[in-house]
Amino acid sequence: MTKMILDLDTGIDDAMALAYAIACKEIELIGVTGTYGNVYTEVGVQNVLDILHMLGVEGVPVCAGEEHAISKRVFERMEVSARIHGENGVGQVSMETSLKSKESISGVDFIIESIKKHGQDLVIVTTGPLTNLATALKTAPEITEFIGRVVIMGGALTVPGNVNAYTEANVSQDPEATKYVFESGVDVTMVGLDVTQRSILTTADTQLWRKTGSIGGRTYADMVDYYISQHSDLDSSCYLHDPSAVIQAIHPEYFTTLPMHMTVVTEGEAAGRTIGDPFKLRDPNPNVKVCLAVDSSALVKDLNYTLLSLFGEQTSGNVKEVESSLKSH
């Protein structure tokens, strides 16, 4: 079992990453920290609480993290985020409001305390801007020595960005934070657009979730179908950005990585670009493992199998049908 913290800006693909982490038998989700990006921090945190409630998951602390980039005073949600993820961040689906509240400890302090407690046994997976983790490293630099793996969804090395030609959305929100984490000496794996756009999920997949008849299966199918409808560049499918990062943390064998000495451009029109550091090309200690290729068929199969198991577990009526879907998939 791998202990994991998810740092999310929930968000539809963040919600898929969360469901995978809950369902995967090899992951012990010790907490979720919320950040801004697809939605405001408070909205993302509430989405996580409501999803956990819907899926009947108890005992996972949810903490609110930073509300804006390190160098900014506020965060303003982009219109495109509301379009892609829906006004409420979860594709306009409605969920029962959780009776639980967020923890009183901040997301940053939760990260610091968890690293102190679990050290190398803990993997931190981030699927939003890196502000929470960078702030934790700045606040308590001593954790750099015993922190375990960090897997980030963010960046693009061999392909253009998705905000503009240079930058990917998560890094674009806080380039300084990403640069800080890259250059901190922490063991970072970058799961960027290079690989996340190679794996896609289709409406045929979500239809299988829906068929479980469970509330989780139906809600997730509606949520992801909304997300799919916003991918005008794809045919009835969507990219698997955030789930790819969680899956990489558990199944690195699906991915091909290149050790690189990476940095981030923080100013000018290329701000947010993740790129090899021209001054450290011959440095014998690369700071980031950049994922460049993925066995997308293994990844999508794994995601579908794991989520179907979760949604199927919630179903009482049509378990047989779910079981045969799992077998034929």
Q: Which two tokens stand for residue 305?
A: 């199998």
The 10 Å Cβ neighbour count of residue 138 is 13
- Position 174 contacts Ca ion (CB under 5 A): no
Name the residues that contact ligand BDR, by CB under 6 A.
11, 13-14, 38, 127, 153, 162, 168-170, 241-242
CB–CB of 308/325 below 8 Å?
A: yes
Q: Which is nearer to Ca ion, 39 or 208 (CB)?
A: 39
Q: Which is nearer to ligand BDR, 135 or 173 (CB)?
A: 173
| Per-residue x/- track, 108-127, Ca ion (CB under 5 A) | -------------------x
Task: Please identify which residue in 11, 34, 65, 175 interacts with Ca ion, judged by CB under 5 A.
Answer: 11
Q: Choose the contact partner of 171 out of Ca ion, ligand BDR, none; CB within 5 to 8 A by kind.
A: none
| Per-residue x/- track, 183-222, Ca ion (CB under 5 A) | ----------------------------------------
Give the residue closest to Ca ion by C-beta: 127
How does strand 255-260 pair with strand 274-276? unpaired
Calpha distance 2→203 (Å, rounded)? 31
Return the axis-axis angle of helices 215-229 and 296-313, rounded to nearest 10°.
140
Q: What are phi and psi of 83, to 5 degrees?
A: -70, -50
Q: Distances in Å between the alpha carbon of 160 and those of 236, 255, 274?
A: 22, 20, 10
Task: Please identify which residue in 7, 14, 205, 277 interacts with Ca ion, judged by CB under 5 A.
Answer: 14
- Least distance in angstroms from the C-beta of 264 to ligand BDR: 15
- Least distance in angstroms from the C-beta of 127 to ligand BDR: 5
Q: Which is nearer to ligand BDR, 211 or 241 (CB)?
A: 241
- Least distance in angstroms from the C-beta of 315 to ligand BDR: 28
Calpha distance 48→9 (Å, rounded)? 9
Q: Choose the contact partner of 168 out of ligand BDR, Ca ion, none; CB within 5 to 8 A by kind.
A: ligand BDR
Q: Which two tokens stand for residue 294?
A: 């993925």
Q: Which is nearer to ligand BDR, 172 or 306 (CB)?
A: 172
Calpha distance 141→137 (Å, rounded)? 5
| Per-residue x/- track, 121-160, Ca ion (CB under 5 A) | ------xx--------------------------------
- Quickly count helices (H) and strands (E) in the chain: 13, 12
198-229 burial string, b = 16+ CB within 10 Å, else e? bbbbebebbebbbbbbbbbbbbbbbbbbbbbe
Q: Which is nearer to Ca ion, 208 or 240 (CB)?
A: 240
Q: Which is nearer to ligand BDR, 81 or 184 (CB)?
A: 81
Residues in the chain: 329
Q: Choose the contact partner of 161 out of ligand BDR, Ca ion, none; CB within 5 to 8 A by kind.
A: none
Calpha distance 176→326 (Å, rounded)? 43
- Tell me which DSSP letter residue 285 carries: S
Q: Which residues bind Ca ion (CB under 5 A)?
A: 9, 11, 14, 127-128, 242
